Amino acid sequence: MFDRAAEGYEAWYSTRRGQLADAAERRLLQHLLQGFEDSLSAIEIGCGTAHFTAFLATRGLKVIGVDRAHAMLLEARRRVSLSLILGDAHHLPFRALSVDLAIFVTTLEFLEDPVCAIREAVRVARQGIITIVLNRYSLGGLSRRWGPQSRAPLLGKARDYSSRQLRGELKDAGGSRVVSILMASTLFPCSLAENISRITLGEVIGCAVKLKP
């Protein structure tokens, strides 16, 4: 479905809603990255059109984007000059402990086996994992299950997360390597949209997992 959506995917970020979400998710990513100030390298798993891969590169990271949708990568290569690799989140084409960070931005909710993908991220990451997911317990979550977004070709297929479910999957996949888990949320209703809070009731939930080497 992402191959079919590739051509118009990036255009969403120019809409009013897309601009709001983009700005909020960038702030959330920056907030989560603060826990890894000495990180130098990262992979973005499920990079799509490399929208956030490019943002991560501006943060000083040597970043590689990975996606299994050919059309998405073609669109990404048209837009940016970054390292982009065709690969499956369930079987990452990287050696163990080969990068500092593994990052998912609204990827886990579209995977067949997200716990397997997180285990792969734990395998390749030296310092930690960052995830941003769509929140099941938000206005958008209600819309994706029963409202207008339920009929959208991509969002209607998302398996949204609760904070409890996300924490559980990260702890299960990370096992004894998990040192700490920090959770935060953003995209709250109305004037609170830009806030970042540890109260996980915004449209998206972010999580930073520190790992033992």
DSSP single-letter state for residue 194: T
- CA 179, CA 20: separation in Å to the nearest integer? 33
What pLDDT, on a 0 to 100 scale, did the predictor assign at position 141? 59
What pLDDT, on a 0 to 100 scale, did the predictor assign at position 36? 97
What pLDDT, on a 0 to 100 scale, did the predictor assign at position 153? 61
What pLDDT, on a 0 to 100 scale, did the predictor assign at position 104? 98
- Structural domain spans, the chain: 2-211
As assigned by CATH, the class of the 2-211 domain is alpha beta
Please, what is the average pLDDT of the chain? 89
| 112 φψ region: left (φ > 0), alpha (ψ -120 to 50), beta (else) | alpha
Residue of 11, 134, 6 whose CA lies nearest to 69: 6
In the numeric block, the tokens 């409202």 are attached to: 147
CB 53 within 8 A of CB 73: no
pLDDT value at 138 more than 90 = no
3-state secondary structure at position 129 = strand
In the numeric block, the tokens 């096992």 are attached to: 175
Look up the pTM and report it.
Answer: 0.91
Rg, the chain, Cα only:
16
Q: pLDDT (tens digit, 9 = 90+) per residue, 92-121?
A: 999 999 999 999 999 999 999 999 999 999
